[in-house]
Amino acid sequence: MSKQNKQAMIIVTGGAGFIGSNIVRALNQRGENNILVVDDLSDGRKFQNLVDCDIADYLDKGDFLERIKNNEILGDVRALFHEGACSSTTEWDGKMMMNNNYEYSKKLLHYCNHHKIAFLYASSAATYGAGQIFKEEKAHEGPLNVYGYSKLQFDNYVRRIFDQLETQVVGFRYFNVYGPCEQHKGTMSSVAFHFNNQLKGSGICKLFAGNDGYEDGGQRRDFVSIIDIVKVNLWFMDHPEKSGIYNLGTGKSQAFNDVANAVLKYHGKGKLEYIPFPDHLKGVYQSFTEADISALRKMGYQAPFLSVEEGVKVYMDFLNKGIFPVYEA
């Protein structure tokens, strides 16, 4: 099984990105700094996510992948958090998406299995599409975009070879994640991030008008704080005997209006405005998501999740006061 040498290296792909950099920072809060960050800094602005982090080394994604292909020994490695991916749900270059999210992940999976390294990777709730049941079963899966398809195909690949794996392998189907260090994602940043900017700029939070039978701003998602995302990732690293593919959300959907109102409450001012639902999102938009976390609970993770109201307040403290969260008590 996976190594539990606390002095061994931990690798984080996408380590300069949103979720990856928060995992690095949480490891630092535990006193761990033997961390190799892997990323593509073609967008150099992402360096800001690592400025306050303590890492052992940085490696470009291309160089890292070459070493993986050549089966080079990277040292004594305890775990690999694979957060590197193209995460744009509006990107339709399927060749690029499958290469980045599917083929790359397969290579890392086989490398980790061969060297008995724990492999914890990012999947997505986009694997479910427009369904109303979000349970880790094929009957409920049907992505609406090529991003979701790339994630589903890798999950299916893991499922097919699961009985052959000799190390810990855990996939996390992230729902709508929000929190520090997502500013580089542009339009793919969370609505909490955009609402904060809109409120500071014009005093108005803009939400989509109703669609799919939902009232204005009433579309519902499972909004999950990066704090909980990190806590679950590290919990599984601490329990190398546990593997599988799990939803990672709060288990409770909340309306976009709830997020906007939490931002308004924090600032003590502002108002809501509803804009027409975009034509290009019709038919490819998830108006409802709510993670079924019964499998996660059954596996043993019992900590409570932050509500929108709780998590947005912590996030607003970061955006407006520069206060990073504490990931674990």
Query: Which residue among the candidates 121, 128, 147, 315 is catalytic per the annotation?
Result: 147
CB contact at 8 A, 309 and 212: no
Kindly report the CATH number assigned to the domain that includes residue 231.
Answer: 3.40.50.720
Question: What pLDDT shows up at residue 329?
Answer: 54
Assess if residue 106 is contained within a domain. Answer: yes
Question: What pLDDT shows up at residue 281?
Answer: 86
Question: What pLDDT shows up at residue 85?
Answer: 77
* Counted domains in the chain: 1
Assess if residue 34 is contained within a domain. Answer: yes
Assess if residue 205 is contained within a domain. Answer: no
Give the residue numbers spanning the domain of 56.
9-177+224-251+291-307
Can you tell me the distance from the alpha carbon of 211 to that of 209, in angstroms, rounded to the nearest whole number? 7
Assess if residue 133 is contained within a domain. Answer: yes
Quick check: is 58 catalytic? no
Assess if residue 263 is contained within a domain. Answer: no
Assess if residue 216 is contained within a domain. Answer: no
Can you tell me the distance from the alpha carbon of 93 to that of 153, in angstroms, rounded to the nearest whole number? 16
Question: What pLDDT shows up at residue 88?
Answer: 63
Question: What pLDDT shows up at residue 131?
Answer: 86
Per-residue pLDDT 10s for the chain (329 aa) are 555 677 899 999 999 999 999 999 999 999 999 999 999 999 898 999 999 999 999 999 999 999 999 999 999 999 999 998 776 666 768 888 898 899 999 999 999 999 999 999 999 999 998 889 999 999 999 998 999 999 999 999 999 999 999 999 999 999 999 999 999 988 889 999 999 999 999 999 999 999 889 999 999 999 999 999 999 999 999 999 999 999 999 999 999 999 999 999 999 999 999 999 999 888 878 899 999 999 999 999 999 999 999 999 999 999 999 999 999 85
Question: What pLDDT shows up at residue 87?
Answer: 62
Q: Read off the tokens for 158.
A: 């893991």
What is the per-residue DSSP string for 136-176? Answer: SSGGG---SSHHHHHHHHHHHHHHHHGGG--S-EEEEEE-E
Q: Read off the tokens for 6.
A: 């606390």
Query: Which residue among the candidates 61, 106, 185, 265 is catalytic per the annotation?
Result: 185
Cα angle: 173, vertex 178, 179; to 5 degrees: 125
Please state the φ and ψ torsions of residue 192, each to the nearest 5 degrees.
-60, -40
Global confidence as pTM? 0.94
Quick check: is 185 catalytic? yes
Question: What pLDDT shows up at residue 243?
Answer: 98
Question: What pLDDT shows up at residue 286?
Answer: 84
Contacts of 320 by beta carbon, 8 Å cutoff, 6+ apart: 196, 266
Assess if residue 95 is contained within a domain. Answer: yes
